[in-house]
Amino acid sequence: MEDRAITSTLSLSSQSALPEEDKSMLQILGGHSLSGEVSISGAKNSALVIMAGALLCSGDCRLRNVPSLIDVRRMGEILSALGVKLERQGNVLDINASQFEVTKAPYELVSQLRASFFIVGPMLARLGVARVPLPGGCAIGARPVDLHVRGLQAMGADVQIEHGTVHAHIKGGKKRLQGARIYLDCPSVGATETLMMAATLAEGETILENAAQEPEVTDLANFCRSMGANIQGAGTNTIVISGVPQLHSTDYPIIPDRIEAGTFLVAGAITRSEISLFPIVPDHLTAVVAKLKEIGVKVVLEAPDRMRVIPTQQHRATDIETMPFPGFPTDMQAQFMALLTLSDGNSIITETVFENRLRHVAELNRMGADIRVKGNIAIVRGVPLLSGAPVVATDLRASAALVLAGLAANGTTTIQGLHHLDRGYDNLEGKLKGLGAKLERIKGDSTEAIALLSPAPVG
């Protein structure tokens, strides 16, 4: 692709780049019901790893249904920095990694995107060497990569971490990684994906035991298989990959985002509104729908890929324990906590996946919720109503929880820290406004939007 491709990518990124210290706020006037249908974008946690997986391909990769997110833009910038050619037209992303360098991906980009670590496996498999700055931890936890590293070592890589950078190369002057039998201490999504990608071009067979079963892992496997990879068992806890010499071009549609869909199901429930979602994959939402039904919220399938939420006036308390798929997803924990603050009775929420993913509790309590935290357990006592307040988002899913609480709260909620939200949701506020929500993104402490959002004088 000619240079304009890169220019368009860079200009796109410069236009859509949000200043890191973005001072804008989301102002929400609560108490309005929603109606209509919302379109669900492509899955963030598929798009990011599949973009890295495109490094495995020596031809053109066309990805469809790619969401517009800061994290996707950043992954594009990292791949561009390696010399990969990218061109984005709407939600179609063309990637050509026929030529790319092993030069160290720029730290200032990698440090802002944990998912950048996904380039290690494909780079090692394609070039025999990889040099990537170690992604830091984040608000929700230390986010170690020891399982990724140990798996690559089992496949014949020498992996050293020096001065915050991962240096890896294939030992013994071999050109290809070697297949291996690898047991994962925990069903890590990222480690499963890194090792599956590395194994597609390895010599021989790789068996991943205690592998993650998330839909995004299966999506990545299907993407690799569409390029000619030989992968069996994705979606189960044992994945078998038989290495092939190279992978060919593909044109691949990314699955809908089950976490965005779950977030909108909760938006309908918490505002007592009937709304439809399309497209969705019902099997990706089994645990979320089951928990909504326990709370008293009905969800009906209007079509194989369309879901409608039908709330009731009274919501019951329930208990939630986050687990690897097919258990209840940790990425939906904060959103359900917002919903349960208004349920009748006490709910117990246990976060078992990440060590610091209850930071939204303090902000929900500022809105009148009654939640106490004991270690990784939150005890939520239902209250009759929440009241709008100024709050600060601490991480991606916490910001979604605060939006949901703001939609239901009495009065106006202002949310700061929107860069968290924009990392992982494709135009959330535009989609909510399309359903009738009263919210505006304002700069600083502008008074103009308050007028916009304030109820018109009666009479």
Nearer to ligand EPZ, 249 or 286 (CB): 286
Helix residue ranges, H only, 280-388? 286-295, 333-340, 360-366
Nearer to ligand EPZ, 18 or 142 (CB): 142
Nearer to ligand EPZ, 400 or 409 (CB): 400
Is the distance from CB of 299 to CB of 292 less than 8 angstroms?
yes
CB of 101 to ligand EPZ, least distance (A): 24
Indicate if the alpha-carbon torsion angle 266, 309, 385, 370 is positive or negative. Answer: negative
CB of 424 to ligand EPZ, least distance (A): 6
CB of 456 to ligand EPZ, least distance (A): 38
Question: CA–CA distance from 175 to each of 124, 148, 157, 169, 357 (Å)?
Answer: 10, 20, 11, 10, 41
Nearer to ligand EPZ, 65 or 412 (CB): 65
Is the distance from CB of 137 to CB of 162 less than 8 angstroms?
no
Question: Minimal CA–CA distance to 412: which of 438, 448, 393?
Answer: 438
Is the distance from CB of 241 to CB of 229 less than 8 angstroms?
yes
Is the distance from CB of 285 to CB of 307 less than 8 angstroms?
yes
Residue 341 amino acid letter: T
Residues engaged in binding ligand EPZ (CB under 6 A): 44-45, 48, 115, 141, 143-148, 186, 188-191, 212, 214, 216, 330-331, 353-354, 396-397, 424
Distance, in Å, from the CA atom of 349 to the CA atom of 362, rounded to the nearest integer, reads 15
CA-derived radius of gyration, the chain:
22
The DSSP 8-state label assigned to residue 361 in this structure reads H
Nearer to ligand EPZ, 351 or 440 (CB): 351
Among the listed residues 57, 61, 138, 186, the single catalytic one is 138
Distance of CA 133 to the CA centre of its chain: 21
The DSSP 8-state label assigned to residue 155 in this structure reads T
CB of 429 to ligand EPZ, least distance (A): 18
Active site residue 138: yes
Give the residue closest to ligand EPZ by C-beta: 190
CB of 11 to ligand EPZ, least distance (A): 26
Q: How many residues does the chain have?
A: 459
Nearer to ligand EPZ, 353 or 391 (CB): 353
CB of 153 to ligand EPZ, least distance (A): 12
> Which amino acids are annotated catalytic?
138
